[in-house]
Structure 1
């Protein structure tokens, strides 16, 4: 994932849009602080973590699927308490 500044996003928006369409992702910073992530429309931030996480693909706890919402996953992990 490439890091770009807010200024780069504004000044080079056409090139950044073409790179997004080609599958590249960007972390956007403002004054050196991360403020957001741009990912291609067909990939979610979770996909980015799964694809680019150091050490291999992210592993989900037993009983949790990628299609569940965060609330559903927490309920599944907690069980009947």
Structure 2
């Protein structure tokens, strides 16, 4: 008896960079990581004062500013953040 696959593979490019050149035409799922909802990408701990960059990636406020002092670019996708981080409630 044949089993139908009901799941799709995750887009490697999107998972690693947060973007995909195929956008909506991509046949793979565009998810980065389930843990991203509850864990900071930098310190990998639960968010303390969660903030979001213009590119949509989220970090702890302290982690975001520590990384921004090193580079203007987003820690994850390398897009310029211009130091703009908005609080997430």
- When normalised by structure 2's length, the TM-score is 0.26
Higher relative contact order (CA 8 A, sep 6+): 2
More helix per residue: 1
- When normalised by structure 1's length, the TM-score is 0.27
Which structure's CA Rg is the greater one?
Answer: 1
